[in-house]
């Protein structure tokens, strides 16, 4: 795979322009000492994926626009591990801060970061196995949102069979499954919860096949932890009357009439905060988790979907998670690393 640095213009779906922010680093590969903090961004997904990567880029750009920073390079759609390592090395040689946007990048960051001790790496949605002085890993406690989503899906389900479909089977995705399982049991202990992984956030065909299989097993409520691959779940739901869909990250009510709501995760806010703090030297090394108190999480309905009973359920479960009445069960939260950890 040939890597393309930031000369590619961002698709119109992204509500800001990153065109023209190609690398301004010197030929020597060293970061120019201009006083402006240079930021590079790498993701295994396309920048206009309509989900995780696109929202992260919005947050990074917001931070850049508000501070003395320059987004010099974007490397996106980098699926192969060796390409990820090479892309991170290129960015690290030419930037003060490198955003590694994706849970699957933890191994590449672990390889590259020790070689560039003066570059601050921000690893998104995953932790390193071991502490690194120049790496901050930022995650969101998505399992808390999933508890609420699972309770709602269980209440709306006629079959008492619900499911979750994700891309790679990584902890940040399995947390959605375990959270939904806990939430469903709160509403009805007999509700069954299925899980499926396509190993690709954007493959529509694989997502459709997974959804069709889940529906064939009786599921009538499906949460999509996918990006553009969600379209495959919508297609399967369109063909199976009574099937309802839930998103993550943001509300997409206008994309399909079967969408009920979303476990909203404001990755844009998380990345804006993380990039700003990293550029200022204020983002601590180690692991940082954003939870309900940070404002990064909430369950939200599409306007015409909820009943009064369902709204009350969301308020009740959210409140009981926040005050500690509901304790997340095993695997709902990402495991805390053995090194420095901060819960926000």
Q: What is the pLDDT of residue 2?
A: 29
Q: What is the pLDDT of residue 294?
A: 86
Q: Do the Cβ atoms of 135 and 278 come closer than 8 Å?
A: no
> Can you say whether the dihedral through the CA atoms of 143, 335, 199, 273 is positive or negative?
positive
CA separation for the pair 214, 146 (Å, rounded): 18
Mean pLDDT to the nearest integer, 115-133: 97
Domains of the chain by range and CATH? 37-140+267-292 (3.40.50.2300), 142-265+306-333 (3.40.50.2300)
Q: What is the pLDDT of residue 34?
A: 60
Q: Is residue 4's pLDDT more than 80? A: no
Which DSSP string corresponds to 220-244? -EEEEE-STTHHHHHHHHHTSTT-E
Mean pLDDT to the nearest integer, 306-314: 97
Split at pLDDT 50, 70, 90, the class of 26 is very low
Report pLDDT digits (tens) over 252-293: 999 999 999 999 989 999 999 999 999 999 999 999 999 877
Mean pLDDT to the nearest integer, 112-135: 97
What is the end-to-end Cα distance of the chain in Å, rounded? 38
Report pLDDT digits (tens) over 205-223: 999 999 999 999 999 999 9
Residue whose structure tokens are 């006083």: 35
Mean per-residue pLDDT over the chain, rounded: 90
Q: What is the pLDDT of residue 171?
A: 87
Q: Is residue 305's pLDDT more than 80? A: yes
Mean pLDDT to the nearest integer, 79-91: 97
Q: What is the pLDDT of residue 50?
A: 79
Phi, psi angles (nearest 5°) of residue 236: -65, -40
pTM: 0.72
Q: Is residue 141's pLDDT more than 70? A: yes
**Whole-angstrom Cα Rg for the chain:** 20
Q: What is the pLDDT of residue 29?
A: 41
Q: Is residue 21's pLDDT more than 90? A: no
Please give the residue that has the higher pLDDT: either 144 or 30. Answer: 144
- At 186, is the secondary structure helix, strand, or coil? helix
Mean pLDDT to the nearest integer, 4-21: 34
Q: Is residue 105's pLDDT more than 80? A: yes
Split at pLDDT 50, 70, 90, the class of 33 is low
Tell me the helix, strand and coil percentages in the chain, rounded to 5.
Answer: 35, 20, 40
Q: Do the Cβ atoms of 41 and 26 come closer than 8 Å?
A: no
């Amino acid at each position: 795979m040939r890597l393309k640095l930031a000369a590619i213009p961002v698709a119109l779906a992204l509500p800001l322009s990153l065109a023209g922010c190609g690398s301004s680093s010197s030929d020597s590969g060293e970061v120019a000492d201009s006083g402006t903090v240079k930021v590079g961004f790498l993701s295994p997904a396309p920048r206009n994926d309509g989900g995780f990567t696109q929202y992260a880029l919005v947050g990074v750009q917001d931070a850049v626009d508000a501070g003395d920073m320059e987004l010099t390079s974007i490397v996106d759609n980098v699926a192969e591990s060796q390409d990820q390592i090479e892309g991170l090395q290129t960015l690290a040689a030419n930037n003060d801060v490198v955003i590694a946007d994706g849970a699957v990048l933890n191994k590449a960051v672990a390889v590259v970061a020790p070689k560039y001790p003066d570059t601050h790496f921000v690893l998104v949605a995953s932790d390193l196995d071991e502490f690194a002085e120049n790496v901050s890993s930022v995650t969101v406690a998505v399992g808390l949102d999933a508890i609420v989503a699972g309770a709602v899906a269980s209440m709306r389900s006629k079959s008492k069979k619900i499911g979750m479909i994700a891309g790679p089977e990584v902890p940040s995705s399995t947390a959605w499954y375990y959270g939904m399982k806990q939430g469903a049991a709160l509403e009805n202990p007999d509700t069954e919860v299925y899980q499926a992984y396509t190993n690709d956030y954007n493959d529509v065909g694989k997502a459709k096949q997974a959804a069709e299989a889940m529906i064939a097993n009786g599921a009538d409520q499906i949460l999509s932890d996918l990006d553009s691959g969600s379209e495959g779940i919508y297609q399967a739901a369109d063909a199976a009357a009574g099937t309802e869909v839930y998103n993550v990250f943001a509300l997409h009510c206008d994309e399909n009439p079967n969408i009920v709501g979303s476990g909203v995760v404001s990755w844009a806010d998380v990345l804006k905060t993380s990039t700003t703090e990293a550029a200022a030297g204020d983002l601590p090394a180690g692991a940082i988790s954003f939870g309900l108190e940070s404002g990064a999480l909430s369950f939200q309905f599409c306007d015409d979907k909820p009943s009064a009973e369902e709204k009350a359920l969301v308020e009740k479960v959210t409140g009981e998670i926040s005050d500690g009445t509901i304790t997340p069960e095993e695997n709902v939260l990402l495991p805390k690393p053995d090194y420095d950890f901060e819960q926000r």
